[in-house]
Amino acid sequence: MPYSIFGNKFTQHSGITELMDDLNAGVQGGDDILMLGGGNPAAIPAIQERLTELMQQLLDEGKLINTLANYDGPQGKNSFIDALAELFNDLYGWGLTSDNIMLTNGSQNAFFYLFNLLGGNFSDDKKKKILFPLAPEYIGYADASVSEDAFVAIRPKISELENGLFKYHVDFDALKIDENIGALCVSRPTNPTGNVLTDEEIIHLDKLARENNIPLIIDNAYGIPFPNIIFEPVTPFWNSNTILCLSLSKFGLPGARCGIVVANPTIIKAMSNLSGIMALSPGGIGPEIALPLVKTKEILKLSDEVIKPFYYQKSQKAIQLLQAQISTPKFKIHKAEGALFLWLWFKDLPISSNELYKCLKAKGLLIVSGHYFFPGLDQQWQHTQECIRLNYAQDDDVVERGIAILADEINALYSEVN
C-alpha cells in the first residue's frame, strides 16, 4: 500500500528505532545479551524502593485510580506544574508561573513538537532548520521533523587531554546563524558523549540566540536539579528566550513517559495546543508519583545523594576497565562529565563503527555505533565512523563482560594493522 510522504518518512528505518528495538531485545534476552546500547537508566535499589513506597501510598489513598481514571488538560497535571514552578523559583529565582511550564509524554515528544514548531516550511516560502551547535548530538533528534533536511550541525573543536581523555567544544568560529535557522538546540549533559557545555559556552549560545531572535533549546534530560547525573560544577540556565526540557526518565521513571518544558508563556501555549491535538493530554502517572518528591524537595536529595554518586562511581569503574584492557594508544575516551554513557573514540579504526557494532552484536554485546549521532552534519568526516557509545549504567557484571568482549575485538583489530 502506498504511504503518504509523511508515512514514508516516518516508517523508514531510523537509528532511534534500531536502538529501541535492540534495547527491547536486550531487556528480553536476559543473560544472553549484554546490553550496553540503549539509554535505559540503571535500576538503583534506593530509588526503586522509594518509588514503590510512593506508589503504594497513592494506591492506598485512592490517588492512583483517580489519576488513571481522569484526563488532565493538554498542558499536563496542574498540581505538578505548580510544584515545579515553586521548586525552580526557590532554587534559582526564575520567577516562573504555571504559564511557563507544560508536560509531555516524555521529552522525546517535546522535541518533536518543538522542532516542528520552530523549524520546517514557513508560510512566506522560507524554510528554517534547527541548528545543533555541537555535533555529536542525541540520536533521538535525527528524525523528529516532518520536513526533510531539517537539521544542521557544526563540527566540534577537539582538545586532547591527559590520561587518554578528550573533550569537545563548540567551534564558535564555524557557528554562523542566518534567517534560515529557527532555533539552536543542545543537550547538556550531552547524549552520547557525556560532554557538559561550559557556562561560558551556554552564555555565548544564549547571546547568539537572542541576537538572532531565535530560541535556545537546552535538553536537560540528565542535568540539574534532577536527576543530576552531572559531574561538573555548572550553573543552571534559563531565561525567557530559553526552552529548557527536563524529564523524569533518568530519575528512574522512563516507563512513565513524563517530559517537562520550561519556556515563555507564548511557547507553552503553542505547545499545549499542539499537545491537545496530538495526545489530548500527557500521561498523569509520572507527575502523580513524583509530586510529593517535588513538593518536599526530596527529589533534590535523592538526585544529589543517591543518583549522582551511583553514576559517577560506575563511570569511573568502566573507564578503569576500558583503559586497563584496551591496549592501543589510538583509543580515547571523552571526559565523563555526565549522562549514562561513555563515548569511545578509536582513531584510524580499521573498520567502520557500524561494522564494529555488527561484530559485537554477533558476540552478544550491544553498543551503539557513533555514526548515528551526527544529525545535520553532512560533511564527510572520518571521526563519525570511529566512535561508539557505551551505556556504563548496567549491572557491574554485565559492564565487565561487555568491556571484555569489546577489548578483545578492538585489540585484535588493531593488532592486524600493526
Ligand X SMILES: Cc1ncc(COP(=O)(O)O)c(C=O)c1O
Query: Residues in the site for ligand X, rule: CB under 6 A?
Result: 39, 106-108, 138, 140, 187, 191, 219, 221, 247, 249, 254, 259
Smallest distance, Å, CB 260 to ligand X? 9
For ligand X, give the closer residue by CB, 96 or 221: 221
Task: Please state the length of the chain.
Answer: 418
Q: How far apart are CA 418 and CA 143, in angstroms?
A: 39
Distances (CA, A) of 143 to 1, 297, 358, 405: 22, 36, 22, 31
The distance of closest approach from Cβ of residue 58 to ligand X in the complex, given in angstroms and rounded to an integer, is 21
Instruction: Give the torsion through C-alpha atoms of 96, 100, 104, 108, to 10 deg.
Output: -90
State the nearest-atom distance from the C-beta of 374 to ligand X, in Å: 15
Say if residue 45 is preceded by a cis peptide, omega within 30 of 0.
Answer: no
Task: Tell the smallest beta-carbon distance from residue 126 to ligand X (Å).
Answer: 28
Please state the closest distance from residue 107 (CB atom) to ligand X, in A. 3
| Shortest distance, position 340 Cβ to ligand X, whole Å | 8
DSSP letter string, 261-281:
EE--HHHHHHHHHHHHHHHSS
8 A C-beta contact, residue 141 and residue 110: no
Provide the minimum distance between the beta carbon of 137 and ligand X in the complex, in angstroms, as a whole number. Answer: 8
Nearest alpha-carbon partner for 288 in 103, 100, 41:
103
Q: Residue 187 or residue 353: which is nearer to ligand X going by CB?
A: 187
Which strand (E) or helix (H) includes residue 341?
strand 341-346
Query: Minimum distance from CB of 397 to ligand X (Å)?
Result: 23
Closest distance to ligand X from the beta carbon of 62 (Å) = 28
Residue 117: CA atoms inside 13 Å, Cβ hemisphere, count?
21
Q: Which is nearer to ligand X, 106 or 402 (CB)?
A: 106
181-187 and 127-132 beta bridge pairing: parallel
Q: Which three cell numbers stand for residue 276?
A: 491537545
Choice between 194 and 349, CB closer to ligand X: 194
Query: Which of 185, 326 has the CB closer to ligand X?
Result: 185
Rounded Cα distance, 128 and 125, in Å: 10
Report how far residue 156's alpha carbon sits from residue 358's, in angstroms, rounded to the nearest whole number: 27
State the residue number with the nearest CB to ligand X. Answer: 106
Q: Is 149 exposed, middle or buried (0-12, 13-18, 19+ CB in 10 A)?
A: exposed
Answer yes or no: are the C-beta atoms of 133 and 307 closer than 8 Å. Answer: no
Smallest distance from ligand X to CB 271, Å: 15
3-class SS at 110? helix
Which residue's CB is nearer to ligand X, number 41 or number 74?
41
Q: Which is nearer to ligand X, 107 or 353 (CB)?
A: 107
In the three-class reduction of DSSP (H, G, I as helix; E, B as strand; rest coil), residue 233 is classed as: coil
Judged by beta carbon, residue 88 or residue 414, the one nearer ligand X is: 88
At its nearest, how many Å lie between ligand X and the CB of residue 110? 8
Please say which residue, 188 or 383, places its beta carbon nearer to ligand X.
Answer: 188
| The residue type at 119 | G
Residue 414 region by backbone torsions, left for phi larger than 0, else alpha for psi between -120 and 50, else beta: alpha
CB nearer to ligand X: give 191 or 228.
191
- Among residues 136, 88, 138, 74, the alpha carbon closest in space to that of 108 is found at 138
Q: List C-alpha distances in Å: 295 to 80, 86, 91, 248.
A: 9, 8, 13, 15
